[in-house]
Amino acid sequence: MVRALSRRDITEPFPVQQLVVRDALAGHDLLVQSPTGSGKTLAFGIPLVDRIEPGAGYTSALVLAPTRELAGRIVEELRTVADSRGLKLAAVYGGVGFGPQIKAARRADILVATPGRLEDLIARNVVSLDKVRILVLDEADRMLDMGFKPAVSRIVAGTPRKRQTLFFSATLEGATGQIATAFTTDARRHTQAADKSAKADIEHRFLHVDSQSAKLDHLVEQLRDAESGSTLVFVRTKRGADRLAKRLRTHNLEAVAMHGDKSQGQRERALARFEAGEVSAMIATDVAARGIDVAGVTHVINFDAPEDGDSYTHRIGRTGRAGRSGTGISFVLSDQAEEIRRMAGDLGLSREFEGATGNWVPQPQQQQRQQGGGSNSRRSRQRRRRSSSSKAKASR
């Protein structure tokens, strides 16, 4: 396995791998808090491949992932080390036909799956979980955000009580932490010691935008910047992604949209064009972008504001990976300024935010809301935020 890794020029472990590989090899359950792009796939993949014996004739290890893109990426990342030990890998996810996946799943020593498709295969008696020795939950927080908790709970309950569980998440707080504790036994806990905002690798910019309609002009300007390379643009809704890609084409900028309503073939073609540099930008929703791991993304643009600090970190973390530099740009409307200012402060980005918007004069309507800000006004703003958040979640 070491020789297989060296052929990929992997000779030194990433920090998260240094933290967890020894405990995983020793058979301990793990709770690992680590951001996207940190090298966590090999952190669980190397011990998993080392501990599973090939040719058992059944699924010995199961990796659950929130999206089909991430499931495919995990298989690609583990292929070399799995081949070095003669282990068979398979990925199963929705959006494609059952036939090829059924054939691959029946022969797999290690199965990588999204919860919905895995339950379909279990119901068809294609996959059995009663001999799973190692269970990995990757990006567990996002699986819960996407509403997979009931399915994940059923799947975990179908595995043997005596198993090793490796739980990887960007956060281990709140509901995610409770689930993590319930799924593991005497787990070793590891948190990757890293600056949450990854300021050493990423330049963070906050750009004042006068109106929603003005965002397009700013985006066009950014994409036409000679220094811009592969650019990932985040929006909140699937309709917004399609609409923005279409509007960019009217400015002679080719863009592709990535969201959950696209077929697997459409998603793969869009990703291939983006990776090849054939398009100016990929327009994605938060959920669709999970699992997109494209080397060389130079810019991430928050066309629509992220819901919270975790979403900001997940989005901007798509650039500046593996020690490379990158740029994160967030468009900020006047009625979002205070909310984003607080988020920036929590992320240690107050200087970046104030440097861009410190002398910002609110628009007249915003001033009127602030001056007339009684309890009814505050309740109205709270209702709008809740409604916006609910619509964003439903749109995914």
Is the same domain home to 157 and 304?
no
Q: How many CB atoms lie within 10 A of CB 392?
A: 19
Quick check: 387 pLDDT over 50?
no
Is the same domain home to 206 and 187?
no
Lowest mean pLDDT among 65-79, 192-206, 215-229, 303-317: 192-206
Q: What does the pLDDT average to over 97-110?
A: 93
List beta partners, residue 204: 328
Q: What does the pLDDT average to over 91-117?
A: 92
Is the same domain home to 282 and 139?
no
Q: What is the pLDDT, as a whole number, of residue 94?
A: 87
Q: Kindly state whether residue 372 falls inside one of the protein's structural domains.
A: no
Task: Give the structural domain span for 76.
Answer: 2-191
Quick check: 86 pLDDT over 60?
yes
Quick check: 372 pLDDT over 90?
no
Is the same domain home to 134 and 46?
yes
Q: What does the pLDDT average to over 146-154?
A: 90
Is the same domain home to 137 and 187?
yes
SS3 144: helix
CB 326 within 8 A of CB 296: no
CATH number at residue 154: 3.40.50.300
Q: What does the pLDDT average to over 154-167?
A: 96
DSSP strand pairing (61-64 vs 255-258)? unpaired
DSSP strand pairing (110-113 vs 134-137)? unpaired
Q: Residue 152 to residues 62, 115, 329, 330: CA-CA distances in angstroms?
A: 12, 6, 35, 34
Label residue 160 left, alpha or beta by phi (over 0 means left) and psi (-120 to 50 means alpha): beta
Lowest mean pLDDT among 15-29, 54-68, 349-363, 370-384: 370-384
Q: Cα separation of 142 and 311, whole Å?
A: 10
Q: Kindly state whether residue 218 falls inside one of the protein's structural domains.
A: yes
Q: Kindly state whether residue 368 falls inside one of the protein's structural domains.
A: no
Q: Kindly state whether residue 385 falls inside one of the protein's structural domains.
A: no
Is the same domain home to 273 and 304?
yes
Q: Kindly state whether residue 112 falls inside one of the protein's structural domains.
A: yes
The domain boundary residue, chosen from 191, 214, 230: 191
Tokens of 288: 């669709």
Lowest mean pLDDT among 114-123, 164-173, 313-322: 313-322
Q: What does the pLDDT average to over 191-207?
A: 68
Cβ neighbourhood burial of 222 (10 Å; 0-12, 13-18, 19+): buried
Contacts of 338 (CB under 8 A, 6+ apart): none
Q: Which residue has the higher pLDDT, 10 or 267?
A: 10
SS3 103: helix
Q: Cα separation of 205 and 353, whole Å?
A: 7
Q: What is the pLDDT, as a whole number, of residue 362?
A: 46
Q: What is the pLDDT, as a whole number, of residue 297?
A: 85
Q: How many CB atoms lie within 10 A of CB 211?
A: 9
pLDDT digit string (tens) for 303-340? 999 988 878 887 888 887 655 778 999 999 989 999 99
SS3 384: helix
Is the same domain home to 85 and 185?
yes
Band of residue 163 on the pLDDT scale cut at 50, 70, 90: very high
Q: Kindly state whether residue 347 falls inside one of the protein's structural domains.
A: yes
Q: What is the pLDDT, as a whole number, of residue 30?
A: 97
Contacts of 345 (CB under 8 A, 6+ apart): 353
CB 151 within 8 A of CB 65: no
Q: Cα separation of 132 and 164, whole Å?
A: 9
Q: Kindly state whether residue 171 falls inside one of the protein's structural domains.
A: yes
Q: Kindly state whether residue 87 falls inside one of the protein's structural domains.
A: yes
The domain boundary residue, chosen from 191, 211, 236: 191
Tokens of 22: 């020894």
Is the same domain home to 70 and 47?
yes
Is the same domain home to 59 and 120?
yes
Of residues 133, 21, 31, 39, the one with CA closest to residue 77: 39
Q: What is the pLDDT, as a whole number, of residue 290?
A: 63
Lowest mean pLDDT among 82-91, 171-180, 378-387: 378-387
Task: Please report, rounded to a whole number, the percentage of residues in the chain having pLDDT higher than 70.
Answer: 83
Q: Cα separation of 152 and 170, whole Å?
A: 17
Is the same domain home to 141 and 267?
no
Is the same domain home to 50 and 98?
yes
The domain boundary residue, chosen from 161, 191, 221: 191
Is the same domain home to 167 and 252?
no
- Work out how many domains the chain is built from and give that number: 2
Q: Cα separation of 318 and 231, whole Å?
A: 10
